[in-house]
Every structure is written in C-alpha cells, then in structure tokens.
Structure 1
C-alpha cells in the first residue's frame, strides 16, 4: 500500500469545515471525477465516479472520531481504498484539513487506467491537492455574505 498525505488551510471555523465534510451530496463540487454522491443509513456513501474514461460506482463506509475531528472512510468493495480527513483548528476562523489516503498503485491503475510508477504517484498527489483546494474554495465561498448560505 502507498500512503499520501496532503493538507490545506481553510478560512472557516473548524465546526463549519467539519459540517462541510459531512455533506456527501456536495462532493461532486470539489472531488475530481465524482458525478454524484449520496449518504445512506449507517454512514454508507455511494459515489458515482468517472475517471480515465470509465464510469464506476463505489460504496464507502464513513466513520467519525468526532471528539478528535477525524472522518475516516474505506471502500467496501473494489478498489480497496481507505483514508481519513483530520481537522485542526488554527484559530477561531481558520482550519487545517489534513487528508490521508492509502491505496495500492496496481489497483488504481487497473480501476482507472493512467500512468504507472512515479508518474502515477505524481498524478494522484496532484488530484488530491486539487481536490483540497476545491474544498477550500467551496467552504470559503459558502460563508460569503450574500451567498445565500450559512
């Protein structure tokens, strides 16, 4: 298994960032390739993903360590992926979101296609970094006055 860790600092309070991560239906707004997402009973999520020219559905289980502000997830079938989002308050109005993803490079290639080896690791790192930046934009725009949100 390979492990990737990335983080982004977001200009919203930790409670708002925590709530944003739990709105699974918003994932298509900031996660590359996710075309649809729903949260079912017992923390089970369904993600409809398009990547490498392939459309697939994935089931994942989400679990909270709310007292620690950690949201853990893992797929319940192929591909075997797992990870977590940890939220750390920087100050009253800023939060660091740390993403950790564990994956098997061969499985990712089989599932989505794309490059091998170092090029694949770079591509995955870039995608995760971009997703975190999109999460930042999504949550920060959500709080803007006159945006019609929170």
Structure 2
C-alpha cells in the first residue's frame, strides 16, 4: 500500500467546509480525473475516474462520518483504497482540511506514477482546488449532517 497525507487551510468556517465535502457529487468540480460521483445511499458512492488515460469505476463505502470533524471511506470494488478527511477549526472563519489516503497502485502505469509522486501532487492540487471552490462560493452547495459510526472489529 502507498499513502498520501496533505492539508489545506480554507477561509470558511468548519461547518461550511465539512458540509461542502459531504456533497460528493460536486467532486468533479475540483478533483482532477474525477468524472462522476453518484451517491447511492447515505454510505455508498459510485465513482467514475480517468487517470493517465485509464478509465476506472469503483464503489466506496463511508465507514465513519462525524459532522464537522471527519469523513472516512474505503473502496468496496475496484482498486483498493481507503482514506479520511478531517476538519480542524483554526479560528472563527478558517479551517484546516487534512487528507490521508492509502491506495494500492494497479498496473505498471499506476506504480510508476506513484513512484514519481503523481498521486501526492494530484491530492495537493485537489485540495487547493477545493479551497478555491468553497472560498469563491462562500457557502456550501448542500449538506448531509448525518452520522455514520465506525464499525466495531
């Protein structure tokens, strides 16, 4: 497994940043290579992505969601990956959004891209574009304030 850790500080309150992040179908607006995300249920999403000319589809399950704090997920089909995004209040109008992602590169192209740091740069770019997206809007496009408890082992 490979991993990426990145963060970005956004000039919106925690609630605004968190609420926007729960709008998965908006991800193509700021995530490079994400063509579509469909929300299938409160905890399931279906993704269509294109990376280095290779189109892939996979399902991901929300494994934990705490309003204004964190969203964690893992893939349930396709490439193996898991991650968590956390939201930290810096002050009344600023939030740190932190991303931790673990993934299993598939095939020679993905393995080479991982070794060259492409995934790290893409994650950093996605967070920067999220910052621009939410700061330009000034408010979230929607919100899901439900809670998903982490499964017990």
**Normalising TM by the smaller chain, what interval?**
0.7 to 0.9
Residue 86 of structure 1: aligned partner: 86
Higher mean C-alpha deviation, range 94-103 or range 61-70: 61-70
Question: Which residue, out of 142, 145, 148, partners 2:137?
Answer: 142
What TM-score do you get using the length of structure 1 for normalisation?
0.85
Structural RMSD (CA):
2.1
The alpha carbon displacement at 1:68 in A equals: 6.7
Distance 1:47 1:31 in 2: 12
Distance 2:109 2:18 in 1: 29
Distance 2:113 2:25 in 1: 31
Q: Are 2:33 and 1:33 equivalent residues in the alignment?
A: yes
The equivalences for 1:28-107 within 5 A come to: 28-66=28-66, 69-104=69-104
The alpha carbon displacement at 1:31 in A equals: 1.0
**Is 1:51–1:112's contact at 8 Å kept on the other side of the alignment?**
no
- Structure 1 runs (4+) deviating above 3 angstroms are 111-114
What TM-score do you get using the length of structure 2 for normalisation?
0.83
Greater relative CO (CA pairs within 8 A, separation 6+): 2
Aligned positions, number: 141
